Structure 1
């Protein structure tokens, strides 16, 4: 009996695709015996066009239904049969078979009676030499694998015939088998419909073959083949559909005894896979992961019917199809090859950073040697003191202080930790055996780390090694950095070190999840060190957000870590009516700093123009000399920055100067704003971090001017570096000349007598009394071995009122430091005071502080409750012999809120870190599938790269033929998720808020591939 073929074609609203499909069907050398066309969600035009082809049956439905459902509806008009010679051919309007396709399929099944399903090779709609899909298989664990996908067709796979499954599009299926198995599983509307049907066909005892000579063009418009779309919402929807299909097949295929275990594992597995998706830089797929799990678990999607259908028709065991599954080792090889192909396409538009060959390592080495020379007196020290430097607690205490809970400062209180505490915890963990030593390393590493960050940021501006070195050196020689180092301000030092890295990562944030997460963490760290920068960075972020296009979701991630870190302290400051106190400088409050806008404009954060006033006084020069010399030394930077506005790259230079203006405005605003107090003196905000932002914008704009000058840039660059070095020289040599506030050892430590007792009783309390310039005495309760840097709190430093406990402590201090008949034993016992320490740094004289010191010393000596046990040049120590006990920390300080805040911070930063990790997992969704043109050009691009590499090696140290400023502000390639940040050099405006001005949208360049497990 001759074979008969009924072609069923599913049409939708696309006249061009439908016309080509109908024409291709009519042009078959072996025509179909009957044709059934079904229009889904069809309009009059679709129906008329299908009718014009004169099909044997024409069906139309206003309902939008999946491909498998439409085939099931259309097959009902085909008369049932028991013959083995009746076949169904499934096509969609997005499939156009070549003239010999049906003939090849029929020739194959004619000589193989055991074959029930034959599938064609799916090729590109516009370029038939590109294979889009050839066969389907799955791993041992049921993940869908397409062995041959997006390859140039050289008949290299034509020898393969037996396959586990073939796509539904173009499938030729024995009609009797179709009727026996009940068609496609309606629970698989988009993905895995063909795979599932073929698995059931094989388990029913039939064969499935691939016919490479049968070629069908596929447009993938969603009718029979899932849409290939670059849009993010399409990819996210397809991930959910793909995962739902995999979970459904798992539940259908599982043996009965394992079904409950699979069901219980659905949601936990979604949690684990979500972490993997973060590592794979696919956070947008997490929602679909959970949706698929809950849909499978509670969707009521007729799993029982599917399982019974499978069991009813299965005649062979699962072991029969095991040889057709893809081994995991082969899966890894396939994915590695696809990753390599994707990177080959990308590397054609990227340049290596050449950190070693381009001179970056020499810049870092030079600044490291400079740092060792300038801070040589600190060599061998285990900790530093003076200025704002204090020791750090042990590693366990450092981390326990995060979030919300007991604050050990002074009397102690329950409150939110400063965000800076988290930075200190991370920093102290680097030298976990002695956290205070991390501050010593920071002082030595500040210059090379600043130069390193600036060098990497300069790769966004230029490819010329000399200009990169210029940028890095000028940044490392910034006056505000040396101000912070000499005044002992670790927070300001960290801001200067981190700012280049923040903008380096930020320029790629809109295109890369890893870069966006890294930017978020760095922004949180910078703002934790200097909340003053919040307004400026928010403006920069808002500009980037407005210009980020389809990368807006990534940009929205950036502030989340900062919000989580600051939320507890912001809430508490607002609750007590001091919202502006959020912007107070963290760490130990320090009095002093710049007080004039001219000093700010020159980049100096101190009041002496970086030591130039003292230098002029030493040589007997007029004080006007520094105000003339210093501006002249810094003039080249300003001139070059302004010149950049009139050269090539004006837009990017303008953005850099906007950043500089924001930093300058922030510094001027901070000049006369005091939010915290030190004793009786108000403490103005430190302008150093704002000046770092100001300096970064100026140096970036100046570098862009040098880029535009081309071969004439060497002279101005040399002058700029030399002049800046001279300008900061008095500050730089402050430590060797012993003019720095920083010294070795802990200058604020308690006398050894008190420290020895605190070693055995950590809660030993010492009442520290410090005479003030107005004649008052400041009182502070110190527990343990002394005040620690991580114990400092802006909640305490910015408090406007005294608590009852603080008023009682003030009463105790006042009566101890003056002749009074009050019996202080009750208050001493209440606060657990074991020692009283009087600071004697005021010395002898006629000042109010000296008078207060003398009065206090006399009163303490005459107090019968106290016994003098030690005296130094700076302090006198009395003990309280009657004090035998210490006051413990209140139990459960912070309550449930402490746990909640800690868990919130852990979740936010843990998930953000997972996104930031450069895993390099590019084959599973972070790279899009190539176009046909890219597939065809892949071999050519590989040859070009192979030919270019020897030439590039020879020109590694040479400047490019054309100035970098010729690079336009658009179309510049940025880092993607497939490589860690910094693997390639790109031209970006460093202050353009995460690269919002450059490149095309990442959404166009990414698509989740089909073969993810």
Structure 2
């Protein structure tokens, strides 16, 4: 019998790193192929020239399209070697080789021997081992699960001990080194073009089985393969796409629709699994791959037709070769345990460590006996800072203790019902005044969360939040700076600096709850963003000292070594922890947490939205792969703001408005903002808390003392050598961006005040600026301390008899200067002054906004907030406002100049969650930078004219207008002399009956003409049967009200009686196309009724339903809920086992050798080290070309990872 004829096809695509070794192994075969064909699949390197130079003489080299796939390249190559028919029983064979698959010398011989022994075998495969380590197995044959998932049943780093040498018949074999009988190849049509990559070998072997042939693996034929071992939850999208496609291709016809639907549902399941595994990138890729595989009906039809043409056996013939579900799950579980998410060290992780010099020996160990390590708990500083700040807060805000609610400045009480808060936040009809179309403010969801923390009592939570604002701010800064330094002193200073920030004091005094919450959460958001990109600092373990000790490796300076004495230190390894969030390992959990925090921050301070969005996008562009998780942090703010923005398309300025009552303020100049002050102050003014001081620029000196030292230290961070310079530069850019934005927003009006247009509050932007300065100052302080420690260690090494100085005088002076700033700021804020009592007594929200008080300046931190009741209207008006009539109240205010302001209030009074920035901006129009006052619409004009009639006391009866507005009560809130004069005038207005002076102001009830002679006594809480002041009513043709319709806050659902055919249902709401009404399911026509919304009613009675509807509502609700829900799921931390690697500091220009953890601890360490000279592959997490020198940047030092192992 003649020897079989073999044609070897070598396919390459950018494989110049592996191709020479593969061709050399091919030429070293004991049984040489008869023909060799080289195919270059669109390589951009020198792979084609290597094929032409290295292949045997006369071997053709052809080209193929890069995207056509491996099967198409093989077909192109075989076209150069036509098939030859022989008269004897010998067959022609095809041997397929990848550019990174080098066969052992006896591989082809063993394969041919196997097929000669069994003529039914038409496909034979090799044992695949790792390229760099022949002892580690990749696969010994392939199999599939019942769902067509490709499995190998080989564990990670499993060693070849002959345990699989008895394998023979398998479901499929790897295409690398596959030996195929050529007539079978041509009969089956080769690899399916619909599977140009992953899954083509499994599909071919599947069809080979169905055609009646066998597939075997030959363990004695060994193939070295550089195929990267992928994480099981990070498999390529193509793998899932091929799996679903194969499932549909080889299923019976009637199962295809069910399998397609199941595949899509399974894609969503994998998305959920990816979120639980903190890898949403995997989840989305699996979902999109599932959908893409299903949406290929034409390719699927062609592939199934090919199978039908060659199929000779039933589909059940392969059932015995499939892997059982139990085996698949057991294998998957073991692989997942080996591939811990914390075990992947990114390239940037090494780059982060390359500039860090970790002294050992003399620098730490020789002096560790001289310095007693700190054995105190690391959180002692946090507790001490919180207690001290809590004491300051109690001294300054003792008036708030026990208050049922707070009001004043921009602050109002919140609704007592969580249902009302949620409805106000999610509504698309703003229930203020006469109503307005628009979505509720995003800050309403934050208020709902606060109420949930108080088990429904949101006002109690707000009081507690105001009292604990200082300690919470300190703790926030303490935890955040832990990502920048392990110095307890610096973290303690940062806690006080952040709690003493003037922006926080101004927010507390003016009742700006959104700015207050933003200030508290900004450090935590910064911490989450740092961890999202793996930039948080972590100690390098290995020493017996505790983290934070001055001699711990983490406290040692980040300087390159230049002395010859440091050579030994560079050879000593340190242990580096690999965990998401630190050492360059990105964290999806941190990104999701950052997204939730940014959503809350931007809801409370919308002016931060453009700055934070640009900052995150800029970080994504600069950090690239390290910032692969950052995009998720933008989703929650977008989910929160997109519905609101969709309703403000004609009033985009409302997006930048601050939540709460619009309060005027005078923005500080840029130099004052740089020092931390958001509100302008007079530099030469005296200090209100220190009236005994002589004349002088005390305000300027205080401002310089509060912000100056931190600025100097933050600037020094840019010039002191060591780790963190790039981060300090980025922080300064962020701070300067905040300054630029404050200037831009000073030209954008968002609401109308009593005497001027109101712009976005600059406090949150100044908070961002101060956070950037504080973080840069911490970095600068950490580098300064490290430099001092390095100098001390070198001095001690040079002269062992010299006394060791622990702290230099310069550091002591700097520490004292840094500590004085927060101390002075807190002291001046906590000391009461006469201005506080004046501000607290007034109801004018603009009080205290000016710094012209001759008693001295308080830097804009005048206390405008005071204790209040949960409702702001008298009980009588509040009861009617919460009844089924939903009566409104017209609330009047008069100032010292007899200027009267008015507002329509519902229920128990306007609450913080009812306020809307879109409603506040309704009086403005024009470009963002040039706003003009809009003329009053009809509803506003009616309110203005009605108020003018009431306060004038002219004797005109305003009840018709009040009835249109739905007003049943008139309230005058003040009780001063000006209010008493105005009250006397209101007493003479027809239709208004005085109820009396209540705790919430003077009260009058609006009565119908028929009830004037039967006025109830002042103590009567309600008037039964009144037809005046209802939100919904039925009006007859003559304009009289016949029926008051029961109503809810924003909807109407009631049973109405029969009546005349020309009556109308009138709402005390502005007319809008979004209002829809039905009567027993029949749609009612909208009709004109002045400015009010009205519907024509038939004579029939029945169930009437009225609601405001918008096409955006369901989609916005579903989208927002989906994004927020997935983010919360992703943000839930999961317990994990950290991994460690031993790192050697290196020098510039030295190659870095990376070796995975050794599988056998007894092996010699030198034998495991991969040297570039040996053709090793320096890779970790990604494959790399052998023979290359892996260089890690151009910083002075580099780190070589020698070994790593999980630590239990």
Q: Which residue number in structure 1 is paired with residue 26 of structure 2?
A: 25
Match of 2:659, SS state, is: coil
Q: Which residue number in structure 1 is paired with residue 489 of structure 2?
A: 466
User: Structure 1 residues 729 and 168 mapped into 2: Cα distance closer, same or farther (>3 Å)?
Assistant: same
- Which range moved further: 150-159 or 810-819? 150-159
Q: In the alignment, is the contact (CA less than 8 A) between 1:612 and 1:626 conserved in 2?
A: yes
Q: Which residue number in structure 1 is paired with residue 818 of structure 2?
A: 720
Q: Does 1:371 align with 2:405?
A: no
Q: Which residue number in structure 1 is paired with residue 205 of structure 2?
A: 198
Q: Tell me by how many angstroms 1:143 deviates.
A: 1.6
Quote the Cα distance in structure 2 between the aligned partners of 1:729 and 1:382: 27
Quote the Cα distance in structure 1 between the aligned partners of 2:898 and 2:1195: 60
Q: Which residue number in structure 2 is paired with residue 302 of structure 1?
A: 302
Q: Tell me by how many angstroms 1:341 deviates.
A: 8.2
**Selected match of 1:803 from 937, 958, 973:** 937
Quick check: which has more Rg, 1 or 2? 2
Q: In the alignment, is the contact (CA less than 8 A) between 1:104 and 1:211 conserved in 2?
A: yes
The one-character-per-residue Cα deviations of 1:219-250 (angstroms, maximum 9, x if unpaired) are 45xxxxxx8999xxxx99x9443233112210
1:588-599 alignment to 2 at 5 Å?
Answer: 588-592=661-665
Match of 2:892, SS state, is: strand
1:758-773 alignment to 2 at 5 Å?
Answer: 758-761=881-884, 763-773=886-896
**Selected match of 2:516 from 488, 493, 502:** 493
User: Structure 1 residues 654 and 48 mapped into 2: Cα distance closer, same or farther (>3 Å)?
Assistant: closer
**Selected match of 2:435 from 412, 430, 433:** 412
Match of 2:127, SS state, is: strand
Q: Which residue number in structure 2 is paired with residue 886 of structure 1?
A: 1030
Q: Does 1:750 align with 2:873?
A: yes
Quote the Cα distance in structure 1 between the aligned partners of 2:745 and 2:22: 71
Q: Which residue number in structure 2 is paired with residue 657 of structure 1?
A: 732
Quote the Cα distance in structure 1 between the aligned partners of 2:432 and 2:1161: 64
Q: Does 1:790 align with 2:907?
A: no
Under a length normalisation based on structure 1, what TM-score does the superposition of the two structures give?
A: 0.78
Match of 2:146, SS state, is: coil
User: Structure 1 residues 486 and 807 mapped into 2: Cα distance closer, same or farther (>3 Å)?
Assistant: same
Q: In the alignment, is the contact (CA less than 8 A) between 1:769 and 1:780 conserved in 2?
A: yes
Q: In the alignment, is the contact (CA less than 8 A) between 2:6 and 2:94 conserved in 1?
A: yes
Structure 1: give runs of 5+ residues left out of the alignment: 221-226, 845-849, 924-930, 946-975, 977-996, 1001-1013
Quote the Cα distance in structure 2 between the aligned partners of 1:47 and 1:701: 53
Q: Which residue number in structure 1 is paired with residue 779 of structure 2?
A: 704
Quote the Cα distance in structure 1 between the aligned partners of 2:495 and 2:588: 27
**Selected match of 2:994 from 858, 861, 868:** 868
Q: Which residue number in structure 2 is paired with residue 1006 of structure 1?
A: none
Aligned length: 918
The one-character-per-residue Cα deviations of 1:381-406 (angstroms, maximum 9, x if unpaired) are 55433333323333333333446621
**Selected match of 1:388 from 400, 404, 410:** 410
Quote the Cα distance in structure 1 between the aligned partners of 2:109 and 2:610: 71
Quote the Cα distance in structure 2 between the aligned partners of 1:606 and 1:553: 38
Q: In the alignment, is the contact (CA less than 8 A) between 1:125 and 1:219 conserved in 2?
A: yes
**Selected match of 1:507 from 530, 536, 539:** 530
Q: Which residue number in structure 2 is paired with residue 990 of structure 1?
A: none
Q: Does 1:122 align with 2:128?
A: yes
User: Structure 1 residues 263 and 161 mapped into 2: Cα distance closer, same or farther (>3 Å)?
Assistant: same
Under a length normalisation based on structure 2, what TM-score does the superposition of the two structures give?
A: 0.67
Quote the Cα distance in structure 2 between the aligned partners of 1:659 and 1:471: 18
- Which range moved further: 467-476 or 322-331? 322-331
Q: Tell me by how many angstroms 1:607 deviates.
A: 6.7
Match of 1:790, SS state, is: coil
Q: Which residue number in structure 2 is paired with residue 637 of structure 1?
A: 710
Q: Tell me by how many angstroms 1:609 deviates.
A: 9.2
Quote the Cα distance in structure 1 between the aligned partners of 2:814 and 2:954: 70
The one-character-per-residue Cα deviations of 1:434-461 (angstroms, maximum 9, x if unpaired) are 3444423433553444334323432342
Q: Does 1:616 align with 2:623?
A: no
Q: Tell me by how many angstroms 1:836 deviates.
A: 0.9
Structure 2: give runs of 5+ residues left out of the alignment: 354-373, 534-585, 790-806, 841-862, 924-932, 1009-1025, 1033-1049, 1051-1074, 1076-1105, 1139-1150, 1166-1180, 1182-1193, 1198-1208
User: Structure 1 residues 625 and 472 mapped into 2: Cα distance closer, same or farther (>3 Å)?
Assistant: closer
- Which range moved further: 452-461 or 155-164? 155-164
Q: Does 1:688 align with 2:688?
A: no
Please, what is the CA RMSD of the aligned residues? 4.7
**Selected match of 2:104 from 75, 98, 103:** 98
Q: Which residue number in structure 2 is paired with residue 532 of structure 1?
A: 607
Q: Which residue number in structure 1 is paired with residue 930 of structure 2?
A: none
User: Structure 1 residues 765 and 242 mapped into 2: Cα distance closer, same or farther (>3 Å)?
Assistant: same
Quote the Cα distance in structure 1 between the aligned partners of 2:380 and 2:171: 54
Q: Which residue number in structure 1 is paired with residue 146 of structure 2?
A: 140
Quote the Cα distance in structure 1 between the aligned partners of 2:262 and 2:375: 49
Match of 1:187, SS state, is: coil
When you count helix as a share of all residues, which structure comes out higher?
A: 1
The one-character-per-residue Cα deviations of 1:326-365 (angstroms, maximum 9, x if unpaired) are 62431332332332386175799699xxx99872475157
The one-character-per-residue Cα deviations of 1:147-171 (angstroms, maximum 9, x if unpaired) are 3376374537545625443211112
Match of 2:991, SS state, is: coil
Q: In the alignment, is the contact (CA less than 8 A) between 1:816 and 1:856 conserved in 2?
A: no
Q: Which residue number in structure 2 is paired with residue 258 of structure 1?
A: 255
Q: Which residue number in structure 2 is paired with residue 282 of structure 1?
A: 281
The one-character-per-residue Cα deviations of 1:291-312 (angstroms, maximum 9, x if unpaired) are 6234434545514324425752
User: Structure 1 residues 487 and 184 mapped into 2: Cα distance closer, same or farther (>3 Å)?
Assistant: same
1:87-486 alignment to 2 at 5 Å?
Answer: 88-106=94-112, 117-125=123-131, 127-148=133-154, 151=157, 153-155=159-161, 157-159=163-165, 161-162=167-168, 163-173=170-180, 183-201=190-208, 208-219=215-226, 239-267=236-264, 269-270=266-267, 273-274=270-271, 276=273, 280-282=279-281, 285=285, 288-289=288-289, 292-308=292-308, 311-314=311-314, 317-322=317-322, 327-340=327-340, 343=343, 345=345, 359-360=378-379, 362-363=381-382, 366-367=385-386, 370-371=389-390, 374=394, 378=400, 383-393=405-415, 394-402=417-425, 405-431=428-454, 433-486=456-509
- Which range moved further: 20-29 or 599-608? 599-608
User: Structure 1 residues 50 and 493 mapped into 2: Cα distance closer, same or farther (>3 Å)?
Assistant: same
Match of 2:688, SS state, is: helix
User: Structure 1 residues 88 and 674 mapped into 2: Cα distance closer, same or farther (>3 Å)?
Assistant: closer
Quote the Cα distance in structure 1 between the aligned partners of 2:1121 and 2:636: 10
Q: In the alignment, is the contact (CA less than 8 A) between 1:867 and 1:878 conserved in 2?
A: yes
**Selected match of 1:544 from 619, 624, 627:** 619
**Selected match of 1:902 from 1117, 1134, 1137:** 1117
Q: In the alignment, is the contact (CA less than 8 A) between 2:385 and 2:495 conserved in 1?
A: no
Quote the Cα distance in structure 1 between the aligned partners of 2:184 and 2:314: 12
Q: Tell me by how many angstroms 1:215 deviates.
A: 1.9
Q: Does 1:583 align with 2:582?
A: no
Quote the Cα distance in structure 1 between the aligned partners of 2:638 and 2:487: 38
Q: In the alignment, is the contact (CA less than 8 A) between 1:10 and 1:91 conserved in 2?
A: yes
Quote the Cα distance in structure 1 between the aligned partners of 2:605 and 2:1164: 48
Q: Does 1:823 align with 2:943?
A: no
**Selected match of 1:731 from 829, 834, 838:** 829
Quote the Cα distance in structure 1 between the aligned partners of 2:970 and 2:696: 44
